[in-house]
Structure 1
Amino acid sequence: MESKNYHEDLSHIRTMMERSSRFISLSGLSGVVAGLAAIAGAVYVYFVFQREGIDYFDGERNVFSPSLVKELVTIGIAILVVAILSGYIFTANKSKRKGLKIWDATTRRLLVTFAIPLVTGGFFCLALLYHHLFVLIAPATLLFYGLALVSAERYTLTDIKYLGYCQIILGLISLFFLGWGLLFWTVGFGALHIVYGLIMHKKYR
């Protein structure tokens, strides 16, 4: 009986330490919604290119008009907003069900660690946009996003690093197929998010 109580105490202490050092309320469903939003956005972008007479998959460095660039940036921001809102809503609900705080010192460390490579990548992509190097934007977003996920792993579910590794690998591969950026972006931010989200939802629900 004492041995059983001892192991239960150790398990309780381990759980408390895990909760205090890691943000464990990330919802897999938020990944699914983010992935669906990315795929919807990519499909819309494809039809925008068709409307403008641009074949994005021909491997050529197409020249985009300022109005088209503005529209693409707007679409990207809309996808980002949907992903962030869905992430917050699903994660907040999960935290509430588990009786955990969604905002504490661990959350702040997670956000800072995640934001550093992500913000760096954002400025890098703005520079690419400024210099009209559009074909490099998709690989860059995948690479920096993957680095952000791997960096954030130390403060949240360790499984997230595998999604990060996949994003990095996909970004590196896409550097050798610059005319196919939209396809790689759709796979990375769309399909991989959905697969990861479903796995995490089943594993941690």
Structure 2
Amino acid sequence: MESKDYLKDISEIKDLMNKSSRFISLSGLSGILAGTYALIGASIAYYLVTQYSNGIMYFHGWVFESCLFTLVMVGLLSVATGILLTTRKAKKQGAKIWDSTSKRLVFNFLVPLAVGGLYILIILTQGKYGQSGGLMLIFYGLALVNASKYSIGDIKYLGYIQIILGLIGAYEPGYGFWLWVLGFGVMHIVYGTWMHFKYDRK
């Protein structure tokens, strides 16, 4: 009996330590919606390019500006949805949404993402457009892996997938768009669904 109580105490202590060092209120549903936004945005961009640019992405003019605006809106909607749903989940769990752990999570996620974003902008100004899709996936994947040590560790696997897809896109730039769709769209929905049933429904 004492042995069982001892093991239970150890398990509870381990659980408390894990909660104190990791932000575990991330919402799987936010991943599903982020993937949905990405697919909608990709569909809009694909329509604009195929209908008004003869299937070629010109990096000037209203078509490019419209695609860029769509990409920015996908990002903003994904971030807003993630904050909203994660905040709601944290309140249900009685957890703090903004503490030292969540700050470390955000910092470790944003550093590689910001560096990657600046690098992509630099190469775009130099007229090197072909690998931008692959680079987005690579730096996003690195951001996920880097942040995973302060959150649910499972997100690193999504990061690895994004990095692999990005490397393929860098090697085969012609498939960059479809790999972007697969990484940011389909994989987010698949991963978000898995996370929802694994963690959110408990």
- Whether contact under 8 Å (1:116, 1:148) holds in the other structure is yes
Q: Gaps spanning 5+ residues in structure 2: where?
A: none
What secondary structure is seen at the aligned counterpart in 1 of 2:130? helix
Tell me the distance in 1 between the aligned counterparts of 2:151 and 2:97: 12
Amino acid across the alignment from 1:44: I
Q: Which residue of 1 aligns with 2:185?
A: 190
- Whether contact under 8 Å (1:148, 1:164) holds in the other structure is yes
Moved more, 133-142 or 1-10: 1-10
| Structure 1 runs of 4+ with >6 Å offset | none
Tell me the distance in 2 between the aligned counterparts of 1:127 and 1:72: 18
Q: Identify the match of residue 132 of structure 1 among 97, 119, 127.
A: 127
Alignment of 1:5-154 (within 5 A): 5-56=5-56, 62-154=57-149
What secondary structure is seen at the aligned counterpart in 2 of 1:64? coil
Amino acid across the alignment from 1:192: M
Amino acid across the alignment from 1:41: G
CA RMSD of aligned residues (A): 1.2
The TM-score, its normalising length taken from structure 1, stands at 0.93
* Alpha-carbon distance, 1:179 to partner: 1.8
- Whether contact under 8 Å (1:30, 1:90) holds in the other structure is yes
- Whether contact under 8 Å (1:24, 1:156) holds in the other structure is yes
- Whether contact under 8 Å (1:113, 1:152) holds in the other structure is yes
- Whether contact under 8 Å (2:109, 2:143) holds in the other structure is yes
- Whether contact under 8 Å (2:134, 2:170) holds in the other structure is yes
- Whether contact under 8 Å (1:128, 1:136) holds in the other structure is no
- Whether contact under 8 Å (2:22, 2:151) holds in the other structure is yes
Tell me the distance in 2 between the aligned counterparts of 1:178 and 1:199: 30
Tell me the distance in 2 between the aligned counterparts of 1:63 and 1:48: 11
Aligned residues: 200
Q: Deviations over 1:97-132 (max 9, x none)?
A: 111111100000011111110000000111122122
* Alpha-carbon distance, 1:54 to partner: 3.1
- Whether contact under 8 Å (2:148, 2:156) holds in the other structure is yes
Q: Gaps spanning 5+ residues in structure 1: where?
A: 57-61
* Alpha-carbon distance, 1:82 to partner: 0.8
Tell me the distance in 2 between the aligned counterparts of 1:78 and 1:128: 22
* Alpha-carbon distance, 1:90 to partner: 1.2
Q: Which residue of 2 aligns with 1:59?
A: none
Tell me the distance in 2 between the aligned counterparts of 1:203 and 1:13: 22
